[in-house]
Chains A and B, each alone.
Chain A
């Protein structure tokens, strides 16, 4: 029997399959992950599986807690009128600047208005602006990203240059500029924040589209004469969805923050409407006299933003295709690679 040197590794032998783990829990960023072949078919688009996503999210304690809290905040914001003990602008001079008590858990402001009620009513204002802004950015940005990524060439150049131009402006300033021209107010604030975040969605979408545009299944659909619209909505969008979803959650965090900042500056929601940022600005003057005026609205902003951020992080962990393959294929991985090397 004679044996000669021959080219290449044999089939089924991944490069670097013998690597030791860098850390016990976290997989090393090495080749083995790419090996979990069966879990990542390239012939069909990996559609986001909602049930699986939700169950994975439920196993991530921080993200689960954040989602529950967010749900609570949204419910409170939705039923604000019923839940708020008092109206937003019920003035009672006798009760002005009361510290937190059973009657007024968050205290009262300089006009005797109940802070708890205003925080609850402010939630609906802040969230509405946040959702409107991100909704605008999501729709417009995703559309631009899809078109730019799918058609390429001059469409891509024109659209993305424009997005780059918008992106080149610092966010808060761009929003201030829009508001300076359009005038202050909640609606304009939403529009301003929406414009600011549009380029981010365009970029994220475009990147995912470029990633799948030349995949086999897309070319196959094209070759059997599927329309552009069908290819975009049926094949490309589902693949681009995970990063867009993650980006949506994170953008909501920043939209709420931006709304608060703009209202704080007097450019967003106008008095006497309750908005967290505005309440902070109003409470600022009384900070040494009555800390609760600024503290509770600030806490509300902080908690909401934190929850959106944590949810975004959790979603990223769950939806990031590479990591999902890792989890779904864990039982397989044990068999394919030497346990710890997986």
Chain B
């Protein structure tokens, strides 16, 4: 992120101040944010502080970036995990069923649904859902967030729509993956060996088809989770969900450069952690990789 900011032409201080500003306030802000120091010094200074958990202070509110992020993180993580749950609940059954009956009606319908899910703009789907469930039917609140500890019912009600929106999009991607994965596993030679042993259909399917097909799902789910974290930016805005995405967008709009930098650093960090966990998990469950 640091590299990016300095590689892409543009002056964050100039942007932060808008179009009209005096030379004095420009210099003052440059000095305050350390942008007047040599680049190398800035980089090591910032990296060093970031490593100790100090991401600087917001241009606007004066709060530390770390505390701002810590405040928002739970909401974003909640939404991301709820979405991946929805995605898997859609994808695994749907993908499996369509693989078991390729080219059947179920398969065709599932293919159309997943194609739609991949193509639909999530924010538009969010708006439509709000119109239907919050507006016309009045079943659910149109947005907001309450912590689970304060009001579990309200928490769930508010979580439902945003999780559904992001879950449907990821779920569509995962459905296609599950379908091709199960289809491939069904055709594997070892399935025939298992049948020839005299195992029951259910046992063959569970242990020799599904198990093999779902192993790589760990990787795909991890990648999807990582993308969900970034994808929720838009959905957080639609549903007024006070997460990191909203924080990042507010920072952009307010030209609050340290906050943006901190938020993006955190997203990147989460992304890397998820990838690492996925790698570790995969090598733990797939004997071919385990040493």
Contact = CB atoms under 8 A, between A and B. Distances in A.
Question: Within 8 Å by CB, do A and B touch in the complex?
Answer: yes
Interface of A: 22-23, 25-26, 28-30, 168-174, 176-183, 253, 257, 260-261, 264-267, 277, 280, 283-284, 287-288, 291, 294-295, 298, 301-302, 305-306, 309-310, 313
A280 B252 contact: no
Contacts of B5: 177, 181
Contact of B234 (A29, A172, A180, A294): A172
B120 interface: yes
Given A30-B187, A173-B248, A180-B252, A257 B121 contact: yes
A168 B268 contact: yes
21 contacts: A22-B186, A22-B187, A23-B103, A25-B103, A26-B102, A26-B103, A168-B272, A168-B275, A169-B264, A169-B267, A170-B226, A170-B230, A180-B255, A180-B260, A183-B10, A287-B131, A294-B124, A302-B124, A306-B115, A309-B118, A313-B115
B102 to A, nearest CB: 5
B237 interface: yes
Contacts of A181: 4-5, 8, 10, 12, 15
Given A168-B272, A176-B252, A291 B123 contact: no
B39 interface: no
Interface in B180-228: 183-184, 186-187, 226-227
A180 B124 CA distance: 23
Contact of A265 (B8, B121, B122, B234): B234
Contact of A288 (B103, B115, B122, B131): B131
A302 B128 CA distance: 13
Given A170-B230, A180-B260, A298 B124 contact: yes
Contacts of A171: 227, 230
Given A265-B233, A306-B115, A260 B253 contact: no
Given A29-B184, A261-B122, 11 more contacts: A29-B187, A170-B267, A170-B271, A176-B233, A176-B252, A177-B4, A257-B119, A264-B123, A280-B121, A294-B128, A306-B119
Contacts of B124: 280, 294, 298, 301-302
Name A's interface SS.
helix
B230 A172 contact: yes
B137 to A, nearest CB: 12
Nearest to B14: A183
Nearest to B230: A170
Contacts of B251: 180
Given A298-B128, A302-B124, A173 B10 contact: no
A264 B255 CA distance: 18
A174 B230 CA distance: 9
Contacts of A174: 4
Interface in B17-57: none
A88 B180 CA distance: 45
B141 interface: no
Nearest to B116: A306
B102 A169 contact: no
B229 interface: yes
Contacts of B257: 180
Contact of A302 (B119, B231, B233): B119
